[in-house]
Structure 1
Amino acid sequence: MPPVARSRHWDVHRPPRAEGKIFLVTGGNAGIGYFVAEQLAGAGATVVLGSRDATKAAAAMASIRSRVPDARLRHLRLDLADHSSLKSSVDALDADRLDAVVCNAGVLLDDPQRRLTPDGHELMFATHHLGHFALVRWLMPLLAAAPAGRVVTTGSFVGKSAQLDPDDLQSGRDYQPKRAYGRSKLAQMLFGLELDRRLRAAGATTLSVVNHPGGALDSLTPSRPPVHVRTTRQRLRGLPAGLLLQGKEAGAWPAVRAVLDPSVQGGQMWGPRVLGFRGRPRLEPVRGPLADTALAARVWADAVDLTGVDPASALG
């Protein structure tokens, strides 16, 4: 496991330039993913927004261009809940390499009724974990073709302390929406860490890094019409929370650093500086459930069974 060292100063408003690089951001049309895409585009990279909805992606790209006039942007239709479609989506990327993928897209349900994908998987688990697991499998050759490809997995603060039952990963016995969300994000973060162990064992140059946005609220997020519009009332109501939490623009900072900082190492986790809730990104220790390598290996094996693909098979 990489050592936890004091992270050097990082200017969140002036990250390193990234001209000539191409990054894919899943869920780049809204929320934290939108701000990851905006900030990476501001660094000069070509940014591909992975999204199911072409109209929403077009609105996001227009918003980014209003702030980054020379932004290089593309849309890739991507449905992480439809695992059988992911290879075709990657083929449609039509690139000879990929410098990084930010596995960000997610869904948070509050319906007490457990929802399933057409494949019979719990929707949040299928989107956060299984979908990104399968996507990375098909992206691996493109990442390997880059000089220093990166898989950047955006988990969540709640995922760090969630508890997984290896015999009930999809919460079939005790489903509660928020608890299932935390479990699915923990599984996704475990995948990111286990992926790096397997990359290192294979002698690969690609790195896998985990991050989380801390506490990121819409009420603290600056407006980006029409993607996100914050009213004056929402802004004022969110001010007390701003003492501890932050908006989604700041919530994107750990992922952006994980993509762009040349000092980042595989197997690391990055999160906000202040108690893991807000502030500029810093290196965090990997501990608790995230440090359980046996659990990570079990979750990986189950994902292979559930998706029918194995990212390790593309490592050579």
Structure 2
Amino acid sequence: MSSAVRPQPWDVHRLPSAEGRTFLVTGGNAGIGYFVAEQLAGTGATVVLGSRDAAKADTAMASIRSRVPRADVRHLRLDLSNLSSLEASARALDLDRLDAVVCNAGVLLDQSPRRETGDGHELMFATNHLGHFALIARLAPLLAATPASRVVTTGSFVAKSARLDFADLRSTRDYRPKRTYARSKLAQMLFAFELDRRLRALGSTTLSVVNHPGGALDSLTPARPPLHVRTTGQRLRGLPAGVFVQGKQAAAWPAVRAVLDPSVRGGQLWGPRVLGLRGEPRLEPVRGPLADIEAAARLWTASAELTGVDPDFAA
């Protein structure tokens, strides 16, 4: 991996122009994904919000346009939990170039019972990992045809202490919601690192970069009514937590830098500067479960079997 490359100075409030480029943000209609989309729209790029809910996407786009004059934002109907729908979604993009995909959308369940998709996969593993794996497979020809394109995967710091159970990837025997979520995020990140190794072996100009947002609270997130409404009481109650975590607008910074910064290299991991929980984005070491090359290769094979597709940038 190229994590030894020294990053260049970066100002999260003065982003470089990306006019003429096109970015897809999965889950760009809410949460951290919304702020990734809003910040990228401010660079002059075309930003496509991948969302299964058209009404929520319309609300998000209206919010972005109210803050970014002449913002070029669009909606792509995208349901990552429905694997059979992703081929049609990729065709519906109808683009001749795609400069970056931000794999941000995710599901977090904190209570039982276990939920399945229509394909029979556990919902968090299916949406967070398998859906993005299959989406990148569908978008591979377009990304490969776009010079210096990027796949930016948003993981989580909880993945750093997770371990995959290859005998039960879909958590059919021992379902624990928090553990299943952590494993789904680890799977996302391992896939992204393995994708970069394969891209480098091909000599591809496409980069695969990983980021995580640290800790993000709604109470510390700027209001974007009606998308996100924050009362004065909520803001005041959240202030003490601001010593350790941040709002979702700041949590978007690592992903935005991974998309835009010309000094970013494939195989890198970007996260918040202060203890990996808050602050401006910095380069982090890739170690522990994230550096398990054997597990990443094994996961790729299993994911291809479960989805019926295999990301191929050589075609």
| 1:142 Cα offset (Å) | 1.0
The two structures, once aligned, show a CA RMSD in angstroms of 0.9
One-letter identity of the residue aligned with 2:57: A
| Unmatched tracts of structure 2, length 5 or more | none
| 1:6 Cα offset (Å) | 4.8
Mapped to 1, the partners of 2:3 and 2:94 lie a distance apart of 37
Residue 50 of structure 1 corresponds to 50
| 1:315 Cα offset (Å) | 2.1
Mapped to 2, the partners of 1:101 and 1:188 lie a distance apart of 14
Mapped to 2, the partners of 1:170 and 1:216 lie a distance apart of 27
Asked if 2 retains the 8 angstrom alpha-carbon contact of 1:156 and 1:214, the reply is yes
Residue 32 of structure 2 corresponds to 32
- Give CA deviations for 1:173-215 in whole Å, capped at 9, x if unaligned: 2211111111000000000000000111111110000000000
Residue 59 of structure 2 corresponds to 59
1:232-247 superposed matches below 5 A: 232-247=232-247
Q: Given the alignment of the two structures, is residue 226 of structure 1 paired with residue 226 of structure 2, yes or no?
A: yes
Residue 211 of structure 2 corresponds to 211
Mapped to 2, the partners of 1:198 and 1:6 lie a distance apart of 23
| 1:5 Cα offset (Å) | 4.9
One-letter identity of the residue aligned with 1:55: A
Residue 105 of structure 1 corresponds to 105
One-letter identity of the residue aligned with 2:73: L
One-letter identity of the residue aligned with 2:251: G
Length-normalised TM-score, structure 1: 0.98
| Unmatched tracts of structure 1, length 5 or more | none
Residue 193 of structure 1 corresponds to 193
Q: Identify the range of structure 1 (57-66 vs 226-235) with the bigger mean alpha-carbon deviation.
A: 226-235
Length-normalised TM-score, structure 2: 0.98
Residue 122 of structure 2 corresponds to 122
- Give CA deviations for 1:237-258 in whole Å, capped at 9, x if unaligned: 1111100100100000000000
| 1:103 Cα offset (Å) | 0.2
Residue 285 of structure 2 corresponds to 285
| SS, match of residue 270 in structure 2 | strand
Mapped to 1, the partners of 2:3 and 2:261 lie a distance apart of 17
Mapped to 2, the partners of 1:213 and 1:35 lie a distance apart of 12
1:235-314 superposed matches below 5 A: 235-312=235-312, 314=313
Residue 150 of structure 1 corresponds to 150
| 1:227 Cα offset (Å) | 1.0
Mapped to 1, the partners of 2:29 and 2:166 lie a distance apart of 33
| 1:225 Cα offset (Å) | 0.9
| SS, match of residue 131 in structure 1 | helix
| SS, match of residue 286 in structure 1 | coil
- Give CA deviations for 1:155-186 in whole Å, capped at 9, x if unaligned: 01111221211211222222111111110000
Mapped to 2, the partners of 1:39 and 1:112 lie a distance apart of 35
| SS, match of residue 75 in structure 1 | strand
Q: Given the alignment of the two structures, is residue 178 of structure 1 paired with residue 178 of structure 2, yes or no?
A: yes
Mapped to 2, the partners of 1:114 and 1:154 lie a distance apart of 24
Asked if 2 retains the 8 angstrom alpha-carbon contact of 1:97 and 1:144, the reply is no
One-letter identity of the residue aligned with 2:282: R
Residue 314 of structure 2 corresponds to 315
| SS, match of residue 225 in structure 2 | coil
Asked if 1 retains the 8 angstrom alpha-carbon contact of 2:214 and 2:245, the reply is yes
Kindly tell me the number of residue pairs found equivalent between the two proteins: 315
| SS, match of residue 281 in structure 2 | strand
| SS, match of residue 63 in structure 1 | helix
Q: Identify the range of structure 1 (51-60 vs 167-176) with the bigger mean alpha-carbon deviation.
A: 167-176
Q: Identify the range of structure 1 (288-297 vs 107-116) with the bigger mean alpha-carbon deviation.
A: 107-116
Residue 91 of structure 2 corresponds to 91
Mapped to 2, the partners of 1:4 and 1:222 lie a distance apart of 35
Mapped to 2, the partners of 1:3 and 1:103 lie a distance apart of 20
| SS, match of residue 163 in structure 1 | coil
| SS, match of residue 60 in structure 2 | helix
| SS, match of residue 282 in structure 2 | strand
- Give CA deviations for 1:71-119 in whole Å, capped at 9, x if unaligned: 0010000000000000100100000110000000001112310000011
One-letter identity of the residue aligned with 1:194: E
| SS, match of residue 153 in structure 1 | strand
Asked if 2 retains the 8 angstrom alpha-carbon contact of 1:154 and 1:210, the reply is yes
When residues 25 and 120 of structure 1 are mapped into structure 2, their CA distance, relative to the original with a 3 A threshold, is same
| 1:22 Cα offset (Å) | 0.2
| SS, match of residue 239 in structure 1 | helix
Mapped to 2, the partners of 1:315 and 1:6 lie a distance apart of 29
Asked if 1 retains the 8 angstrom alpha-carbon contact of 2:29 and 2:49, the reply is yes
